[in-house]
Amino acid sequence: MELNKNIIHQIQNIIASSQERAIRSIDTERVLMYWQIGKVIFEEEQQGKDRADYGKFLIKSICDEFQPQFGSGFTIRQLEMNRQFYRTFPNTNALRSQLSWTHYRTLISIDNQDKRGFYITETTKNNWTARQMERQINSQLFERLLMSNDVQAVLAVARAEKLPTVAKEIIKDPMVLEFLGLKREATYYEKDLETAIITHLQEFLLEMGNGFSFVARQKRIHLDGDEFFIDLVFYNRFLQCFVLIEIKTDKLTHQDIGQLQMYANYYDRFEKQEFENPSIGILLCADKNDAVVKITLSENNKTIIASKYQLYLPTEQQLIDEVMKEIEKLDQKSSEA
């Protein structure tokens, strides 16, 4: 007599869920333990603040006392992180049960309060793993969104205080695609990049941002006997519109922009429902001339976006340079006005 496979499956799910809850419970207790130890260290330091190097003496003494018994949880580095953890989050009400100690260990290294709050909110809302959150921080997600938005707008969207209404509130320029594993010095065909994106679709959706879902690859459209193929089609539930992506491994041309505009027009006339918003087109390109993009598109354009892609994580200096370029553009617009 053979056991019902459905019963086996149910019991496996029960065991997996129980193990997951147990692990989460243990990590929650660990977070609280580190916070409480940090509180004790910080408050004791304040009592002895008139003594030079008292903090170093205190942490080393605690390490010598407890490390032989409890191991790596009481190294000098760990105790210093506990103290920083409490200083960064002085109230337990600010702690999130969805975040593990690995999350917090990364978050306490962020000095900017707005930036740290952004990643806490996004991680909680999207259920990012510690590795996914770290990847977003390393790819400078917060700074890239600030290139086309102000801090309060970015934070409001992250906290769900407002829904995004225009593409620039979600779509980043540049997009960072280091997860594709492609070498930046190599030459690629557009189909190679497209295939790599499909292979790493989960990571690409994470980079795209909130609310995106995959619809089609190489979507065929017919126009009076001629065939065209749209590289990638997505849908965004917040913007309530189709998002069409064309991949260009060379520098963007005005012909590329015109082609994508044609695709967007097609979707608006033949695919879009009445309740949906106009389709958005993204030209994912290796390089672009912003002046060409600006002149090719209408002044009130909100639906066609040219976004550079990078096959490696940006350095801090690269982000600073990009931000300075945006500031110069704003200064130039102000002087022209």
pLDDT given at position 48: 62
pLDDT score for 106: 97
Q: What is the pLDDT of residues 304-320, one digit of tens each?
A: 999 988 888 766 666 66
- Which residue type, as a one-letter code, is found at position 133? M
Q: What angle do CA 69, 70, 73 make, to 5 degrees?
A: 150
Angle at 195 between CA 193 and CA 199, to 5 degrees: 115
Q: Phi then psi for 200, rounded to 5 degrees?
A: -110, 45
Give per-residue burial for 192-211: e unless 16+ CB within 10 Å, then b. ebbebbeebeebbbbbbbbb
Locate the domains of the chain by residue range.
Answer: 5-109, 166-336
Residue 17: predicted pLDDT: 80
The pLDDT value recorded for residue 330 is: 54
Q: Which pLDDT score, from 0 to 100, does residue 158 have?
A: 86
Distance (Å, whole) CA 92 – CA 99: 13
Report the pLDDT value the prediction gives residue 322, as an integer from 0 to 100. Answer: 63
pLDDT score, position 324: 63
Q: How, if at all, do strands 241-251 and 280-287 pair? A: parallel
CATH number of 166-336: 3.40.1350.10
Cβ pair 45, 58 in contact under 8 A: yes
* CB-based contact 281:299 (threshold 8 Å): no
Is the alpha carbon torsion for 296, 147, 279, 200 positive or negative?
positive
Q: What is the structure's pLDDT at 50?
A: 61
* Per-residue pLDDT at 310: 87
Q: What is the pLDDT of residue 82?
A: 95
Q: List, in sequence order, every residue forming a beta bridge with 277; answer none if it has no partner.
A: none
| Residue 22: per-residue pLDDT | 72
Look at residue 105 in the predicted model and tell me its pLDDT.
Answer: 96
* pLDDT at res. 245: 95
Q: Tell me which residues of the chain have a pLDDT lower than 50.
A: none
144: phi then psi, degrees, rounded to nearest 5: -65, -35
